[in-house]
Structure 1
Amino acid sequence: MAPEPFYEDRGTPIALKYVLEAGSERGYEVDLLTFPVGKPLTLPGLRIFRVGTWLPIRVVPIGFSLRKVFLDAFLLPAIFWRTSRVKYACVYALEESAFLALLLRPWHKLFVIYDMQSSLPEQLKMHPVFRGTVFQKWLHFFERWMIRKADRIVCSAGLRKYVQSIVPDANVQEWYFPMEPAPLLADEPERLRAELGIEPGSRVVLYAGNFESYQGV
């Protein structure tokens, strides 16, 4: 379950693409439930089911939006329908979609893996509506509930200690995505430094994010 546009070249969809590629390489058959927005992706064993395809929605912005909440609501009946028809080995649910999968577990006995890309209360803290004490308290409650109920949690690097501070015995593993370096010509680094006006031998700090406020830039 992926509650975001898929596929797009941005954080969570890129990480999910790695997961899908790994599953495909290992011979798994995967049904992906996601939003109606995004480029098609073709992999052996992968089927993509999109909710709300009849809606006139072509863009879903990064971060919280009413549009995203609206589309999230369509995921619940969709996952109920899929798990009623198919006996899945597990449900791999990203971010808030884990809450929906866990709601259905008593009926369908689902093994739920919660992919925790970020802390939802922390991410929504910058939003004027959700930064208040009452909303933050409820968000922390739901986050703790998901961590306790999930059979397995996989989280972004650096979040493991945070998860264990909430639920010490949580079954949690951090993600480290291996990257293969692109082949470079011998003089490519020097040429690029000259092109960008960077002094030879000087340190370079590269930020590869989207400048959203929750990233702390």
Structure 2
Amino acid sequence: MVDAPARLTVLSGPSGVGKGTVVAEVRRRHPEVWVSVSVTTRARRQGEVDGVHYHFVDDAEFDRLIAEDGLLEWAEYAGNRYGTPVAPVRERLAAGAPALLEIELQGARQVRERQPEAQLVFLAPPSWAVLVSRLAGRGSEPAEVQERRLAIAQAELDAAGEFDRVVVNDDVARAADELVSLLTAPSSPCLSQGTGAPTTD
């Protein structure tokens, strides 16, 4: 990644759209891309590595980070808290290199308030039907839990207009490459929509 601007780029989108999958593909295809590792109070899942997937902390440590202004943003989702440690991001940008955050909508809005120069990218599904299928395929959750997830996802999709760019995750490799191209693109005071919003059929 030659002469990439020292810009903070935020990737967000509805639950189930594949944010983690796209970021993993970015890391695989472009290992030079720096991705912030979030802190979370969520329990570690099988196969997850502390400091790689998340920094796993307890509620007391999370409270300390908030009190000491150690988080660029934080949000609560599904009963757990997630946040972005601010120090590594500032160090990366101070070194003149781009930084990528993968966070939820609440956090993206906080970043926009605190760092209005940040580039916000919305990852969208090809269609509502595809997102429903992805969410339903996550496991044998009770119907009321699935309904709640879908309601949240619809509200998150409605927020796409708040973002500078929209990348449609119709192909993981293509979406990853488009995201990297946005990371390396020169800053623009007025960013237009990218691939476009998903259909709702």
Give TM-score scaled by structure 1 length: 0.40
Higher strand share: 2
Answer with 1 or 2: which has the greater Rg.
1
